[in-house]
Chain A
Amino acid sequence: MVDKKIRVLIAKPGLDGHDRGAKVVARGLRDAGMEVIYTGLRQTPEMIAAAALQEDVDALGLSILSGAHMTLVPRVLRLLQEQGQANVAVFVGGIVPNEDVPALLQAGVKAIYGPGTSLDDIAKGIREEVAQR
């Protein structure tokens, strides 16, 4: 009996207290058949990296509405790299100004999902990215 499930960590780094979007995405990915680890508000990059390691996730979704993405995202990516998890597919959801998108993609983020993205698109994006690994 082979049971390969996609495991996704949905995390909210930093200080913003708005987790409605993260919860909706978590629920959407659950309904797409994934195992979603949800860690709650105000996570440090170190907490997120530790959870990604222990949970052996395939993908990581970072929900950021505070504007601190240019600081937080690269830190998470660096920690993942340092602990041998460079292959985790990292996605960002929330408010990211257009001018920041290229830099984040350059840093290793697979996709950025702004307001209005459909849950199906997110699930599809994760599934395709994980299948490539």
Chain B
Amino acid sequence: MGIVTQALSGERRAIARLITVMESGEEQARQVLAELYPHTGRAHIVGITGAPGTGKSTLVNEMAKAYRKQDLKVGIIAVDPTSPFSGGAILGDRIRMRDVATDPGIFIRSMATRGSLGGLARATADAAHVLDAAGYPVILVETVGAGQSEVDIARTAHTTLVVEMPAAGDDIQAIKAGILEIADVLVVNKADLRGADHAVAALQAMLDLNSAHDDGRDGQHHGRLEGIEAVAPGNHSGATNRQVYWRPPVLKTVATKGEGISDVVACVQRHRQYLSESGLQQRREHERAEEGLRRILRYTLLERLLNRIQPSDLDEAVRRIARREQDPYSAANALMAELGLVERQA
């Protein structure tokens, strides 16, 4: 298959076509991935998430420029939502990425969620595999405008940035579960607006609670170890046997003016170093592999089993449940007994 070889050598048309194949979910996707997979695992995948309008696309544009100054090629995958009614989508993230639109060292791909709810599309991770294998050492993945529970990005990215902005909710938002928990780096964008310092303080206060918690659990006391210090030279000698705590740094940016971007990129690169030196990289890779395998198995096995149920049996069970003649668990049990998966219950 020539197209895979072309993509591996960085040919952009081939890369674009392969991402389309990944999105299509056709049988060809599986074959292509099998060929690409041995060439993956080299890129640093950076997730950028946060509520709509916080400036994710603008931040990605500025970060891409900063990486280009280091002469690194950058892949960008920008995800926007699919309409639940028409199945169509408006993918508008390129509007904010015009600075880098014609840079041959940058590859931008817009992606629609196509029904996935976790903030990414089903094929986002596979598209990242394509760019990884094609030799892009940095891949920036921008999620849909995320609310509180779209946390899939943490399973795809090595380093996750959560982007906030001033005056977007009170302090209690910062201690809720969900998206803030997955942050490796917190960014308060639009920091020239009023309330930026307050937003930073609220996030720092949340992190104080986290670190108190973690220290207690590990029986160690690191105090407030900033992410920056966690891997500072001389401080990571025993990093593998002594759990060093990564405290997500909170950074202020004004992405439209390019302010604070170099700090963000520096923090992302320090986080990568921290991951490898602490042994966390391997552990996460293992978790990622397990999660991915389980997801594929769950999906494929479920499809196969569901296909074995007679549609008429299923319809009949649905009717019985709706008429309150049988409860849903007993109905499910009866169908599974039909397939020989469980003992039939009296």
Contact = CB atoms under 8 A, between A and B. Distances in A.
Interface of A: 1-5, 7, 26-27, 29-40, 43-44, 46-47, 50-51, 53-56, 83-85
A1 B95 contact: no
A38 B90 contact: yes
A54 B16 contact: yes
Contact of A32 (B86, B92, B107, B109): B86
Contact of A53 (B13, B26, B88, B94): B13
Given A51-B108, A84-B13, A85-B13, 17 more contacts: A2-B25, A2-B26, A5-B23, A5-B87, A5-B112, A30-B89, A31-B88, A34-B88, A36-B90, A38-B94, A39-B101, A40-B98, A43-B98, A47-B98, A50-B101, A55-B16, A83-B13
Given A2-B26, A3-B23, A47-B102, A35 B88 contact: yes
Contacts of A27: 90
A73 to B, nearest CB: 19
Contact of B83 (A30, A38, A54): A30
Nearest to A42: B98
B98 A53 contact: no
Contacts of A37: 91-92, 94, 110
Interface of B is mostly: mixed
A35 B112 contact: yes
B236 interface: no
Contact of A29 (B16, B88, B107, B114): B88
Nearest to B114: A3
B203 interface: no
Nearest 5 interchain pairs by C-beta: A40-B95, A30-B88, A56-B16, A33-B87, A47-B101
A55 B80 CA distance: 14
Contacts of B13: 53, 83-85
Contacts of B12: 53-54
B220 interface: no
A3 B89 contact: no
B11 to A, nearest CB: 10
B111 to A, nearest CB: 9
B20 interface: yes
A101 to B, nearest CB: 29
B153 interface: no
Nearest to A55: B110
A44 B102 CA distance: 10
B24 A3 contact: yes
Given A3-B114, A53-B13, A35 B91 contact: yes
A69 B16 CA distance: 28
Contacts of A44: 102
B19 interface: yes
Given A3-B24, A31-B83, A38 B88 contact: no
B17 interface: yes
A7 B5 CA distance: 25
Contacts of B17: 56
Contacts of B107: 54
B184 to A, nearest CB: 27
Given A55-B110, A83-B13, A38 B91 contact: yes
B112 to A, nearest CB: 5
Contacts of B89: 30, 35-36
